[in-house]
Structure 1
Amino acid sequence: MSKQEVLHRYSQSITLLKKESTDAGISEDEFQKLYFDSLKSHNITAERNPQRRYTKYFTIVLITLTVLCMVYNYKAIYSYLICNLQEYIYPGLRLIRKLSIPFISLFPALTELYQEPCLIQNPFFTVVDMDCWPCSSINNVRQAKNPQPTNQQQSAPFIYETEQSAIKMHTLRQIYMQNKEIFDNEAPKILTNNKFHTTPQDLFENIHIDDKNLYIWKSTNFNVARILRQVIPRPKVVPKFGQSTERFIIIDSSQSSFHVPDTECNFSFLLSLSGARTVQLRPAEECKHQCKSLKVELKESHLLWYNWWYWRPVVQSSSGNNTFIAHVGSYC
């Protein structure tokens, strides 16, 4: 389209717009004022566009150079921040805690996350060049007669008979009913068949004789640990100080195979409260080429001690109909 055609169409548009303004009751002076004001605003916008474009390019270049300098001097910047921010870490965390109180009061269910040592586990975590000599020479699970509190140098798994009295399903139900409010508030979730969660009330008030499920009841609270300590005393192999408040109660009536949950501390124990099952100690992924897989019969009231750093216990399937109830704990 030529310039003459463009000007002609523009002239026609102005004439049509002037006619519509006259029909709307706008005088010629008002129309001229509006027309020239629109030209001025158009000229200002046209003048600002190049400036905005240059500002945008300058900002992008500046950010790119800043990022490159930070990457190049990463170690120096990291060392500087670590050295100068140490004294602000705890005051900052204390401030965050105070600021979160109103939010927690609105959503009290979030308080249970505070007790978790790990919110999200990394399934691909491995230790590079892990030293596997503590388990490389172990060929069986030894039977201990009178074990003493295990020190930090112990790594070979062993089993022994405790003085723990048998705890059946009705005993657990009685403990729950006597402390229902504490359990419902501080240990409200029970993992069922490693798929979904249920509540203690659903477990103990609606359980059936033909129930064939696996229940893993986890607690990380002091009040729950104090209640369980009354019926499950601290095993003699566990030192007086250092036991984790984390507790697992396993109720298995499915007779299927399952992995024993990972504990907070690496010195762990599996105590049979009712029933008997075969437990396979599989070496950790990093040591599976140097260490052997072991099997042991875990009878009622017997305790299996193992180092979680080297062994991963798996309870084997059973052909019996007895419900297997066990307690899992650890210490550091």
Structure 2
Amino acid sequence: MKTFAVPAQNASVVEREVESPAPEGGQVLLRVLHAGVCHTDTHVQEGGYDLGGRGFLEMTTRGLEYPAVMGHETVGEVIAVGDQVTGVAPGDVRLIYPWIGCGECVRCQQGEENYCAASRALGIFTPGGFAEEILVPHERYLVDIDGLDPAWAATLACSGLTAYSSARKALAHVSADETVAVIGAGGVGLMAIAVLGALGHRSIAAVDVRDENLTVARELGATITVNSSNGNGVEALTSAAGGPIASVIDFVNTGATVGLGFDALAKGGTFVHVGLFGGEFALPTALMAIKALVLQGNYVGSLQELREVVDIAKQGRLPKIPILSGPLSADGVNAGLTGLRDGTVAGRTVLSRV
């Protein structure tokens, strides 16, 4: 089968021919139909994350190996199953939960595989969806998407899941009419705006540096939009919201965006950090106590949360973010990654079989 892999750190994706795997036990082999392109893929290609003054976090120290087959937003058609599989059969189309853990630690046993310290995440530490076929270790990671557009459904495995898990954290202590601000109206940020609306929230602010993204944000349910490119984002956001912000979800998460969100927070406010663009922020420790703030990270979401967001989508409550189509090929992956880096994708890029 063909795979579209990054052969080394900072290298372009190339086509490679490898042997098609044969599923055993509870494993399931799927033909990839659709595969979304995510900012995490750019970090895998680059080899890690910017930690500001703490240097660069090399993903190879966490188990990443090159050549790496990326892609963790995958919908596929079952083509073969192991002898212990009973819940799916060849021909079934399924969304794949990619954030797979070791299965044995406390986090995994609690259903929080996305927090596992020995992650086996598809598309990062094990081969993902940028390929003709993908091997999934157990049928429980396959989610039925009957009735949904499969290309759009692919984005739910990361973009939708991350948005949903982040929104739930941001809404934990917030009434429906208090403002939640979404910083970064890219693919995941736009999905978060859609999710917040689906969960019944009525005051949603979108903050971005591109008017094009803010236009889409309004179409998806943002009630306030703020272009922060001129440097006065805090004043513009709090003015438009009528005061400080109850919760902030930062899908960029650089020093600059964290500074903006932190300074805009109301007393008792919650800041959910999601983006992996990197950098650092100097924390004014006294303000943490004086304002009784909550700073919380969010890394994707659990298998149960994915099932919940798929259910919301099936109920017709989740507006669709714009999808930019492309071919599932080496050139298609490279173009998708370039679009993300250049900030030219208003929505999500999904690659499909041609």
Q: Which has the higher helix share?
A: 1
The two structures have a TM-score, normalised by structure 1, of: 0.24
Of structures 1 and 2, the larger Rg is shown by 1
With a CA cutoff of 8 Å and minimum separation of 6, indicate the structure with the bigger relative contact order. 2
The two structures have a TM-score, normalised by structure 2, of: 0.23
Q: Which has the higher strand share?
A: 2
